[in-house]
């Protein structure tokens, strides 16, 4: 599933291609997404201009003029790209927005867990995302992060995957941040000290920043908004490296299941 670095990369790729562009025609595929597209939205969108594109957690927000918004979630295999019309439209493309420059904004999703939804007002967007998302990692208040972790009996891995604790972190970057902080994924939040929390908070920011610089991680389907792949998968320290030597101590990386997800860690560098 695309996480914050992948979604941020898509947004940065699309921003110069979409800002100021007008939607002229909207084509909707027959297969339904997880949150079905409504026919009435197409009529409301036609003729709208994209004034800005931004990210919140793992969600992409297109702000439109006149006032309206599209909220996009890539799900597990979603791709949101701008293509010229001479590039064949691949299978599993569910929405095609023709732009006034002749290019096409396409939403493709093989497994159909993603979604594209129309909202009339900014307040509706804020309410929708506010119920689902906690603070962004880059401006996460230290005290709030401490309280979220130290007041919980859940594992650190479960807490990092909880989008209401910190927005945008998923399985890959939770594993990478925990390794960088030297913390075991099964450690309980209420066993943490304030120093532990600060170390983890900083590790999350560093890992996500490095991943964004590498255009995210391409494991299977992920591509950026311009169709380019990510490169951070070549820099993984623990994720997907079961049995390989730790980059710090050469101890073989182990994999366990925590919070219903595979978790990778070094048993020497991340002792409980």
268 three-class SS = coil
Say if residue 123 is in the same domain as residue 19: yes
Q: What is the pTM of this model?
A: 0.95
- Interatomic CA distance for residues 82 and 72, integer angstroms: 14
Q: Based on the domain organization, do 112 and 12 belong to the same domain?
A: yes
Task: Evaluate whether residue 149 is within a structural domain.
Answer: yes
SS3 25: strand
271 part of a folded domain:
no
Could you tell me if 120 and 142 lie in one domain? no
Instruction: Out of 81, 115, 130, pick the residue that ends a domain.
Output: 130
- Confirm whether 26 is domain-assigned: yes
Which of 89, 113, 130 terminates a domain? The answer is 130
The CA distance from 179 to 268, in Å, is 10
Q: Please check whether residues 143 and 71 belong to one and the same domain.
A: no
Do residues 82 and 189 share a domain?
no
Structurally, the chain folds into a number of domains equal to 2
Token pair of 80 as six digits = 């949101």
Contact 89, 107 (CB under 8 A): no
Domain encompassing residue 90:
4-130
Which are the catalytic amino acids? 2-3, 58, 261
In a domain, 55, yes or no: yes
The answer on 94 and 9 residing in a single domain is yes
At 28 the three-state DSSP class reads strand
Residue 62 has pLDDT above 90, yes or no: yes
Answer yes or no: do 164 and 248 share one domain: yes
**Average pLDDT of the chain to the nearest whole number:** 96
Please indicate, yes or no, whether residues 209 and 107 belong to a single structural domain of this protein: no
Taking 90 as the threshold, does the pLDDT of residue 272 lie above it?
Answer: no
Which CATH number belongs to the domain containing residue 62 in this structure? 3.20.190.10
Domain-embedded: residue 53 = yes
What does the pLDDT look like over 240-253, one tens digit per residue? 999 999 999 999 99
Residues 175 and 255 in one domain: yes
Distance CA 248, CA 120 (A): 51
Predicted confidence at residue 178, as pLDDT, reads 98
List the structure tokens of 26.
């909207």
The 10s digit of each residue's pLDDT in 163-217 is 999 999 999 999 999 999 999 999 999 999 999 999 999 999 999 999 999 999 9
Residue whose structure tokens are 């995210």: 216
Tell which of 86, 106, 130 closes a domain. Answer: 130
pLDDT per position as a tens digit, 128-156: 999 999 999 999 999 999 999 999 999 99
80 with 150, same domain: the answer is no
Same domain, 71 and 144: no
- Same domain membership, residue 171 and residue 74: no
* Residue 37, phi-psi category: left (phi > 0), alpha (psi -120 to 50), beta (remainder): beta
Q: Determine what percent of the chain is predicted with pLDDT higher than 90.
A: 92
């Amino acid at each position: 599933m695309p996480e914050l670095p992948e979604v941020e990369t898509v947004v940065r790729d699309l921003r110069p291609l979409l800002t100021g562009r007008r939607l002229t025609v909207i084509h909707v595929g027959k297969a339904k997404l997880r949150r079905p597209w409504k026919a009435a939205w197409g009529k409301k969108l036609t003729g709208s201009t994209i004034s800005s594109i931004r990210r919140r957690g793992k969600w992409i927000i297109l702000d439109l003029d006149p006032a309206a918004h599209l909220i996009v979630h890539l799900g597990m295999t979603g791709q949101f790209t701008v293509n010229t019309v001479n590039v064949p439209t691949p299978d599993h493309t569910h929405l095609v927005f023709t732009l006034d420059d002749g290019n096409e904004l396409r939403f493709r999703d093989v497994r159909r867990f993603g979604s594209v939804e129309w909202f009339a007002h900014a307040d509706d967007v804020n309410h929708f995302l506010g119920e689902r998302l906690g603070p962004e990692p880059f401006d996460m208040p230290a005290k709030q992060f401490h309280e979220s972790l130290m007041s919980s009996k859940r594992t650190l891995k479960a807490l990092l995957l909880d989008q209401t604790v910190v927005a945008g972190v998923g399985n890959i970057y939770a594993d990478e941040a925990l390794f960088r902080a030297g913390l075991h994924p099964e450690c309980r939040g209420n066993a943490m000290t304030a120093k532990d929390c600060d170390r983890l908070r900083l590790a999350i920011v560093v890992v996500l920043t490095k991943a964004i610089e590498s255009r995210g991680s391409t494991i299977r389907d992920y591509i950026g908004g311009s169709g380019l792949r990510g490169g951070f998968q070549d820099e993984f320290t623990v994720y997907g490296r079961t049995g390989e030597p730790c980059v710090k101590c050469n101890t073989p990386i182990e994999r366990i299941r925590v919070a219903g997800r595979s978790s990778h860690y070094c048993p020497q560098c991340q002792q409980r």
